[in-house]
Amino acid sequence: SAVISQKPSRDICQRGTSLTIQCQVDSQVTMMFWYRQQPGQSLTLIATANQGSEATYESGFVIDKFPISRPNLTFSTLTVSNMSPEDSSIYLCSVESAGGAGVGNEQFFGPGTRLTVL
Amino acid sequence: QKEVEQNSGPLSVPEGAIASLNCTYSDRGSQSFFWYRQYSGKSPELIMFIYSNGDKEDGRFTAQLNKASQYVSLLIRDSQPSDSATYLCAVSGYSSASKIIFGSGTRLSIRP
């Protein structure tokens, strides 16, 4: 499986500021995904990021709040804009493995970014 | 109705016994099924995936899929204290083979 790193691993931010989270993969991948996991909850998909095209956002998530960049096949960023305490969460990037069964490729997760907004 | 349902637990199992984790899903067109293990404060780790009806075994883990009943389970044999974690069931959505829907997870506790 791919080796995925995220920066920062954690941060404490003030209300109204923005934070950019980086996700780096050690191999080229077509699709990268950004998830949020709020305390005690399961994972919620924020958006899918493909290289060379606009990210596709899930219901309830908008580009103005969560702008995403995907400049190449090994890197993506997620920005959490104009933060409020409700944005306190773990943010995870994931990548899809290559060479799966071809029906639904499994995903592997980075270590996550733990964000606390005061 | 939730798309992927799991009992939140906690499920307490004695060390050495079989732990059985269950999951149901609502989309009959789902094609891929995954089990992730998540330790507290860590990211999810893929431990099993299954695409066809029946059983799939990998070491102490067995995934079971019954598409007719829309049911998938994970059995952990010879449970160890290190198996104590939250187990997330995940199902690929019908609209895209790559979009995965996660259940809320089952907390498993292995007691010595």
As a whole number of angstroms, the distance between CA A44 and CA B51 comes to 22
| Closest residue, chain A, to B44 (C-alpha) | A109
Q: Which pLDDT belongs to residue A53? A: 82
| Pairing relationship of beta strands A113-117 and B11-14 according to DSSP bridges | unpaired
Residue-wise pLDDT tens for chain B (112 aa)?
A: 668 999 988 999 999 999 999 999 998 888 889 999 999 999 999 999 998 899 999 999 999 999 999 999 999 999 999 999 999 999 986 555 568 899 999 999 999 9
Closest of A11, A106, A63, A82 to residue B99, by C-alpha: A106
What pLDDT, in 10s, does the model give residues A21-40? 999 999 998 889 999 999 88
Q: What is the DSSP letter of B15?
A: T
Q: Is the peptide bond before A8 cis (omega within 30 degrees of 0)?
A: yes
As a whole number of angstroms, the distance between CA A87 and CA A68 comes to 16
Contact B65, B52 (CB under 8 A): yes
Which segments of B1-112 does DSSP mark as H helices, in order?
Answer: none
Q: Which pLDDT belongs to residue A100? A: 45
Q: Which pLDDT belongs to residue B97? A: 53
Contact check, Cβ <8 Å, B92/A103: yes
| Closest residue, chain B, to A56 (C-alpha) | B99
Instruction: Count the helices and strands in chain A (H runs, E runs).
Output: 0, 11
Q: Which pLDDT belongs to residue A63? A: 96
pLDDT band at A106 (very low <50, low <70, confident <90, very high): confident
If DSSP codes are grouped into helix, strand and coil, which group holds residue A73?
A: coil
User: Is residue A92 classed exposed, middle or buried when 0-12, 13-18 and 19+ CB atoms within 10 A define those classes?
Assistant: buried
In this structure, what are the phi and psi dihedrals at residue A50, rounded to the nearest 5 degrees? -110, 145
- Among partner residues A48, A104, A107, which is closest to B31 by beta-carbon distance? A104
- Among partner residues A41, A48, A109, which is closest to B43 by beta-carbon distance? A109
| DSSP of A102-116 | SSS--EEE---EEEE
Contact check, Cβ <8 Å, B97/A103: yes
- Among partner residues A42, A103, A110, which is closest to B105 by beta-carbon distance? A42
Contact check, Cβ <8 Å, A112/B103: no
Contact A85, A25 (CB under 8 A): no
